[in-house]
Amino acid sequence: PGDDIYSECVKTHPVLLIFEDREIKVIEENSVTKVDAENALDAWLTTKKIAIKAAIDERLTKYPNVRPCFLDFFLIPMSDVGEFKKSLYRAIHAIDYKEN
């Protein structure tokens, strides 16, 4: 940072979006094979992509300093974000997450 080479670099910022959607549970329950799940998730994304992009664009207006960067989005839809949070906490800290 601070030198000419760094200032000429294209900046890319990864963005991890983990969100809950009830339809993901249906996909999990109804998919018999990996291909079934992939096809169902593809169909789900086709119906949701415009709303997801609109939500991202809305939030980007709040952070204009991010605009000059390329953003790589990683979407992780889940049926239960709370359970994921607890599992991740357990994996990182080797103890169970305790609710207040």
Range of the domain at 52: 4-93
pLDDT given for residue 3 in this prediction: 78
pLDDT given for residue 37 in this prediction: 95
pLDDT given for residue 1 in this prediction: 63
Q: 14 - beta bridge partners?
A: 72
The maximal CA–CA distance of the chain, rounded, in angstroms, is: 54
Q: Whole-prediction pTM value?
A: 0.65
Instruction: For residues 100 and 84, give the distance between their C-alpha atoms in angstroms, rounded to a whole number.
Output: 17
Distance of CA 23 to the CA centre of its chain: 16
- Residues of the chain short of pLDDT 70, as ranges, are 1
- For residue 77, which of 34, 13, 33, 26 has the smallest C-alpha distance? 26
Whether 25 maps to a domain, the answer reads: yes
Amino acid symbol at 5: I
Whether 48 maps to a domain, the answer reads: yes
What is the total count of domains within the chain? 1
